[in-house]
A and B are shown apart, each in its own frame.
Chain A
Amino acid sequence: MALSREQIAMRVAQEFQDGDYINLGIGIPTLAANYVPADIEVMLQSENGLLGMGPNPTEDELDADMINAGKETVTAITGASIFNSAESFAMIRGGHVDFTVLGAFEVDVFGNIASWMIPNKLIKGMGGAMDLVAGAKNIIVTMTHADKKGNSKLLPKCTLPLTGVNCITRIITDLAVLEVKNQAFYLKERAPGVSVEEIREKTAGELVVEGEIPEMSFA
């Protein structure tokens, strides 16, 4: 069975290490904050200028001056810091943020990512995504393996305008965990009940399968 959005988020959260500073994009990446393992501590960075983002506020805590990069009202955890946009992107572009997790339309075997622009549709902008993919030490892309028509999103070469080049090393989809290296996708894990054949069928770029591929564990 393909994973649900929540299950993808759960699998993403397994990648986090104790002490990581993490930037989560909008959508599935944001959900990963709900599944951080209980025995580790991570700190969430929001690129509008908040390190140590907490949950959404109660009505009593609501404050127009406290928002996240998605413009939603949030709180700050104990030990948080707040700073200006240049400082925020200095920590992103300077490689100080350990992890960034973001969605994508397409990823290719060169580690290129397209996530912000579909030609001939209204283009709203890249926000901080280009800075994040150029700067973070580790980037995880979360997306469905194929689009609604069944077209693969893991390609020999991206067709849409790029967000960044040679920057993606790890992808977590509803079917698989993959690494990007040597101009190929290396299959690392399968979603429970999903066969290597199905993954191969839905991966347009070169897929490398080495040995037995374990199923993801959600214990």
Chain B
Amino acid sequence: MAGFDKVVSSYAEAMAGLTDNMTIIAGGFGLCGIPEGLIKQIKNMQTKGLTIVSNNCGVDDFGLGILLEDKQVKKMVSSYVGENALFEQQLLNGELEVELTPQGTLAEKMRAAGAGIPAFYTATGYGTPVGEGKEVKEFNGRPYILEESIMGDFAIVKAYKADRFGNCIYRHTAQNFNPMAATAGKITVVEVEEIVEPGELDPSQIHTPGIYVDRVIQGSFEKRIERKVLAK
């Protein structure tokens, strides 16, 4: 690696340094915009005791769901889970912990972490089980709860294109949580459909500036569709 060139040539290199009990922030919404190869690499590494912060947890045999097969996940921080049988089973057995977090709060926890903001007030969740035990403060007569941001030891991100310097663009709704995740990792790894040379992407169209990115790897994607619904 030289200068700002962040491209790595193997998945082993991409996830080097990941060890047991680390926290991983993952981009993706359902199976859309997930770093498929990086997730498979985590499975290959057999890292255990992981806390994974991601909107969802994949399905039984695809996406983050594959990390449940060998009980690699200790805790999920998500807004919506349970699309798979293994997840349900491990949750009911007490082998897996889940911290259900409102979707907007989850996005903001990542965004705030990346921006150096340790906590923020939000009206979301006040008066509900989510707000229990959290500090409440009134602003303009309305109560808000204090939510803490979440930084990951690693962030794993899926982008459409990145240049060698790590500047990324996303495609359509595969963007979702990826830009926030990219800012919230001590080490941020981006798996992309296409690596291009610096200068090929219009600087004003970059979604994630390369400063947030540590490693870029060329991926190959199945891009499975969770719910294929066609026009009637």
> A residues touching B (Cβ–Cβ < 8 Å)?
46-50, 55-59, 61-74, 76, 82-86, 88-89, 92-93, 112, 117, 122-131, 134-135, 161-166
Q: CB of B146 within 8 A of chain A?
A: no
Q: CB of B126 within 8 A of chain A?
A: yes
- What are 25 inter-chain pairs, A to B, with CB distance below 8 A? A49-B175, A56-B232, A61-B231, A62-B230, A64-B225, A65-B171, A65-B174, A66-B172, A67-B30, A71-B30, A72-B227, A73-B227, A73-B228, A84-B179, A85-B177, A86-B111, A122-B82, A123-B100, A124-B81, A125-B78, A126-B100, A131-B124, A134-B126, A164-B127, A166-B127
Residues of B near A129 (CB, < 8 A) are 102
Say yes or no: B107 contacts A85, CB within 8 Å. Answer: yes
Instruction: Give the Cβ gap from A170 to chain B, nearest Cβ, in Å.
Output: 19
Say yes or no: A122 contacts B230, CB within 8 Å. Answer: no
Residues of A near B123 (CB, < 8 A) are 93, 134-135
Residues of B near A127 (CB, < 8 A) are 79-80, 102-103
8 A Cβ contacts from B150-186 to A: 160, 170-180
Instruction: Give the Cβ gap from B191 to chain A, nearest Cβ, in Å.
Output: 15
Nearest A residue to B114 via CB reads: A86
- A135 to B55 alpha-carbon distance, docked (Å): 20
Say yes or no: B103 contacts A47, CB within 8 Å. Answer: yes
Residues of B near A112 (CB, < 8 A) are 127
Residues of B near A92 (CB, < 8 A) are 104
Known: A67-B29, A89-B103, A117-B129. A125 touches B229 (CB 8 A): no
Say yes or no: A67 contacts B32, CB within 8 Å. Answer: yes
Residues of B near A65 (CB, < 8 A) are 32-33, 160, 171-174, 223
- A166 to B175 alpha-carbon distance, docked (Å): 33
Q: CB of B20 within 8 A of chain A?
A: no
Residues of B near A134 (CB, < 8 A) are 122-126
Residues of A near B130 (CB, < 8 A) are 126, 130
Residues of A near B207 (CB, < 8 A) are 84
Nearest B residue to A83 via CB reads: B175
Q: CB of B202 within 8 A of chain A?
A: no
Known: A58-B230, A123-B100, A126-B100. A82 touches B173 (CB 8 A): yes
